[in-house]
Chains A and B, each alone.
Chain A
């Protein structure tokens, strides 16, 4: 299973929740599969999907899913310590771990060598850490969202590989405003 197939598989779960999606191909694929106003597509700031989602989950009560990648988490690894110590139960970090920098030409990341993000997350203080296959991810993500007492870090181990895709045509303010309207943060739209 590659990332495009995984994101396709997760649609029913993502539909009802606030989703922060990582820059590059993950956002472009999510947009192509099923664009929704409750999806916040990152157009910059690689590494910060987990952090944006954490800030959002601390600020309101709806369920938040940060879709991140192994390369991006490696870039902002301190995020796992903050999540381990501060994440509320309405927060789930889904790390799509394909062992490669997919958006930049599939160069290998360190999770394809010796690094285990599961072990890092546990060491950083995250209590509920699940590593699973792409096929098991929908079920694990569902269970994580249904658990109202805990936040989760789910590491979905999939194959690398991308589909041919266009950049997202939405402008950033459109992404921002329709997302905030979905939450109820703006009244003027």
Chain B
């Protein structure tokens, strides 16, 4: 819970005030925290691509949105990222639980893990890789960077960082 709270606190410190998520067990604590937080908007959404659209609308309405999802969600969202968020230069935070990284018990998650950073790199999406607790302190500056460069950005949270956050 400590790590999840620290991530949420740092996102809020960066100005993020609108959250949607497609769940992951590594995001469960963050979802719990956000559901109880009256200062921000939070909702679940059924699919990541749809969440990208909702975030685009929230940005138009002057919110600073974040979509929380597994890295698999990037695979579901490539066209929405390129032909909506990037085409109109919309700052949106992708808070990604990086399934399939070392510590992951489910072998099948390894496939998307192997290509996740390549996809983000191909899309020219700035990345912040959080593998230890001190990386979380970089979130406010990194979030502000999304606004400055008017671009979606990705925060990748490693399996081993999140797995013990009970």
A positions within 8 Å CB-CB of B: 20, 40, 42-45, 47-60, 76, 78-79, 81-82, 86, 172-173, 175-176, 179-180, 183-185
Contact = CB atoms under 8 A, between A and B. Distances in A.
A82 B18 contact: no
What does DSSP make chain B's interface, helix, strand, loop or mixed? helix
Contacts of B58: 55-56, 58-59
What does DSSP make chain A's interface, helix, strand, loop or mixed? helix
A175 B87 CA distance: 11
Contacts of A176: 60, 88-90
Interface of B: 18, 41, 43, 45-47, 49-63, 65, 79-80, 82-84, 87-90
Contact of A183 (B43, B62, B82): B62
16 contacts: A43-B87, A44-B87, A48-B49, A48-B50, A53-B57, A54-B53, A55-B18, A55-B53, A55-B54, A58-B43, A59-B41, A76-B47, A78-B50, A173-B88, A173-B89, A179-B60
Given A43-B83, A48-B80, A60-B61, 19 more contacts: A20-B57, A42-B84, A44-B84, A51-B52, A53-B57, A55-B54, A55-B65, A57-B57, A58-B57, A58-B61, A59-B41, A59-B57, A59-B62, A78-B50, A173-B89, A176-B88, A179-B60, A183-B60, A183-B62
A57 B83 CA distance: 21
A56 B55 CA distance: 8
A59 B62 CA distance: 7
Given A82-B50, A185-B62, A55 B56 contact: yes
A185 B83 CA distance: 22
Nearest to B52: A48
